[in-house]
Structure 1
């Protein structure tokens, strides 16, 4: 398609890039040693100062010997580091739309690709979700290359491998597989790489979530997440050094870490930024709070169904006054109301978020009690459950816990003690039947049992 005739190449490139119809695709005709040349680039995705210096260098070229072939021209006439060449029309167009400048010179049959990209970006700042009391305060941004650099900065080892791929027939989204070559599960790596290459979706406009849904064909009925998201380069680097695979998707300010078990999802950076005793306390506290957040409201509902069987020292949990709305419906309605308040806070302008929180807190406490909408005990237990949900570093896991809690509430309401037992059995089945992307147990190192590894999941051991 491309040849040594510049007019042919301009015609082909105009047709492929539709430069005459897109205002942001800039076409710049220049002359290099009296040879007609054309430069295409996307406005806003190029380091203009570098290109100006490069064009100044082009105008000063006078040697004819440099134009014998593309290789010679690149070696002698392109004063830039990241330079490539191609005759493949699809590769050339994809490069242009990715922000790379393309240059065609009369007499040369290949297109020169000059990677002088400069993406619009925000400054690296503290993560909004994965916050820590100590340790690094930088976070991933939406810039693909910058995120890879943040990993390179922390792992200066020759075995660190960053493999670039693309997915999406139209979006051509950049994806990086990051792993330690001497530690990674090669079968898992090959499987993931093949799955990415086989993704047939047209675009990944929702980036990470769209990518995960295209990558993992899991049963929707199982709420437990199969991947771990992290906005922290230090957490991602630590998982890579363990032998895991990190996936960076362009335009996403977080990494995807695989394979992931239930115990991996429960860990957070603060566990390792504090001394072993403190880290162990934080780990155990998180497990206890998570278990309580699942069972506390179903058990409380059950005790109010059968108050005569409640031990004396737990009699204070019984609601003695008659309720206008059954306790079960109080719990369900407040579960929904809390989620509604959370969604409202996300969409509320920042200057009004404090006001919304105050109004929501009053509406869900004093007014609800006075109006007979909910009892004091219901508000108390749901307040604990709400706070407990935020103890989870993984938002996906916190929602999974919420769904399980609602499942237990419904089962307990319908079938009393047998419903609660059946719900617990179902949760165990969901956990046991779930597998990581490597095909291993979701409950490892509990199932199959590995005592030393399991101890490390609960106890912070000095490195």
Structure 2
């Protein structure tokens, strides 16, 4: 790939503080011959953005050479053979025909490969007289996922993705076997979307496992998974999932075009980088997609006509389009009865509203008593403190964020101790020292609980920033600051769209029936229509004669 084998980089990697290492001496010894000098010049001049460009640079074309020695030379320069310990080229002879098995040591499934090699050892020369590739492919490789490949770059890309390839002397075709075995963990309940009753399986870092978990719940032939590779170097697998007779085809095509048009080195940070590249490109703090780690929630959204994007190596998926109110809903509400689910939903909405407006409204009433009704005479600081109220709120906000980050980066056994220490230091000691008033700690705790009750982690972070913005406006401008700030936030949310869908739907534009469904968790048989903002092909969830 680009500048692969650069000598300056090689010396930097192999030279320690005490002098040049053995690797550096060996490299200098190798370049003394005229042929090595020519290779060194080619290495210095190489600039290639893709594997195909690198293969063509080294062997003038992208065909598979018929000689194993030439194949090895290409693999040395392009794939890192003999330079990376996990890149293996195993030469063997089967039926008097020389072969080379090319694979990555960490991805090969030992049991399957051993079985294949054991079967090949029984070959005799007479069985390979006519067409060795055809004989290997059709008769002697007992595996399901096997294909013939004629391009060298395709072979290298497939091996880097975990497959294994057979090269044969005098043959310009390779046999690629999908025998990869990715390191990973088993499905377990997501930490951010826990439910009291319900499935305990969640997505993992393996793409095939994730799509299978959804397929298990949706046995619909209309469910489609389109696979696209993104990134010139990482070649990350991205799968677009949708139900073709429900989802709007224009939205699917728009998502497909944006993903295919990406021209970047790669997606090492998986779905979050993909979201920023194709959806949320600006400084908008609010999430324009919904993340989920629950296969049952993803299946429900697919049935509603949403598009789901899976990214390999990520245990979460992106659901789009989405709305502000969709981000406020949780799977727990649908695991209870309609009445209890409605109660939980209302409590959650109250918590989200409190996390946004309780602190700015209290600060307004505490600093401007003229706005305070007689019934709320008790609102305000009962004791004086050494710090202004705005400074107290800012310190408390930063303290809560620091405590949250410390809990994330702290081993679980110590997380409780950190919480107790922060509560004592920031709460009790700060109040007794006269730096804080009791009311600030109280209302800050209420707002923090509301944030933690927000189902979407990304939405809670955005609400925290908006709350801090409103606090500053109230401290500077008073009542007009709260009104203007709230209006600006609403206008910003109205102007933003999630893949051509109104972000504040069904509040703006107002849809009374859909808004009622947002506030009240209706029984399953009463939910006969899919959300209209998805603009689905089939809007009905029930058969026409049953609705």
Fold conserved between structures, TM > 0.5: yes
Residue matched to 1:60: 122
Residue matched to 2:274: 211
In 2, Cα distance between equivalents of 1:279 and 1:238? 16
**Using a 3 Å threshold, how does the CA distance of structure 1 residues 130 and 406 change in structure 2: closer, same or farther?**
same
What whole-Å deviation, never above 9, does each CA across 1:276-313 have from its counterpart, x for those lacking one? 11111111211122112111111111111222442222
What whole-Å deviation, never above 9, does each CA across 1:111-154 have from its counterpart, x for those lacking one? 11100110111122111111111100111111111111111111
Runs of 5+ consecutive residues of structure 1 not aligned to the other structure:
none
Residue matched to 1:385: 447
Q: Of the candidates 253, 257, 265, which is equivalent to residue 190 of structure 1?
A: 253
What whole-Å deviation, never above 9, does each CA across 1:350-381 have from its counterpart, x for those lacking one? 22111111101111211010011110000000
| Structure 2 contact 230–259 (Cα < 8 Å) conserved | yes
| Structure 2 contact 322–501 (Cα < 8 Å) conserved | no
Mapped pair 1:398 → 2:441: no
Higher deviation after alignment, 446-455 or 45-54: 446-455
What whole-Å deviation, never above 9, does each CA across 1:248-283 have from its counterpart, x for those lacking one? 111111111111111111111111111111111111
Shift of 1:452: 2.2
Q: Of the candidates 297, 303, 306, which is equivalent to residue 235 of structure 1?
A: 297
Residue matched to 1:351: 413
Matches within 5 A, 1:105-254: 105-220=168-283, 222-254=284-316
Q: Of the candidates 408, 411, 428, which is equivalent to residue 366 of structure 1?
A: 428
Residue matched to 2:87: 25
Higher deviation after alignment, 447-456 or 385-394: 447-456
Residue matched to 2:400: 338
Residue matched to 2:438: 376
Q: Of the candidates 427, 438, 448, which is equivalent to residue 509 of structure 2?
A: 448
Shift of 1:12: 3.1
Residue matched to 1:415: 477
Runs of 5+ consecutive residues of structure 2 not aligned to the other structure:
1-62, 525-547
Q: Of the candidates 492, 495, 505, which is equivalent to residue 433 of structure 1?
A: 495
In 2, Cα distance between equivalents of 1:374 and 1:451? 44
In 1, Cα distance between equivalents of 2:480 and 2:220? 55
What whole-Å deviation, never above 9, does each CA across 1:152-171 have from its counterpart, x for those lacking one? 11111101111111111111
Residue matched to 2:522: 461
In 1, Cα distance between equivalents of 2:127 and 2:66? 15
Q: Which has the larger radius of gyration?
A: 2
Shift of 1:66: 7.5
| Structure 1 contact 67–107 (Cα < 8 Å) conserved | no
TM norm structure 2: 0.82
Shift of 1:30: 1.3
**Using a 3 Å threshold, how does the CA distance of structure 1 residues 69 and 58 change in structure 2: closer, same or farther?**
closer
Q: Matched residue of 2:242: which SS?
A: strand
Structure 1 residue ranges (4+ consecutive) displaced by more than 6 angstroms after TM superposition: none
Q: Matched residue of 1:174: which SS?
A: strand
In 2, Cα distance between equivalents of 1:202 and 1:232? 30
Shift of 1:212: 1.1
What whole-Å deviation, never above 9, does each CA across 1:188-238 have from its counterpart, x for those lacking one? 111111111111221211112111111225330x22110111111111111
| Structure 1 contact 124–139 (Cα < 8 Å) conserved | yes
TM norm structure 1: 0.96
In 1, Cα distance between equivalents of 2:289 and 2:129? 52
Residue matched to 1:319: 381
Higher deviation after alignment, 63-72 or 176-185: 63-72
| Structure 2 contact 351–449 (Cα < 8 Å) conserved | no
| Structure 2 contact 91–98 (Cα < 8 Å) conserved | yes
- Count how many residue pairs are aligned between Structure 1 and Structure 2: 461
| Structure 1 contact 247–256 (Cα < 8 Å) conserved | yes
In 2, Cα distance between equivalents of 1:71 and 1:364? 74
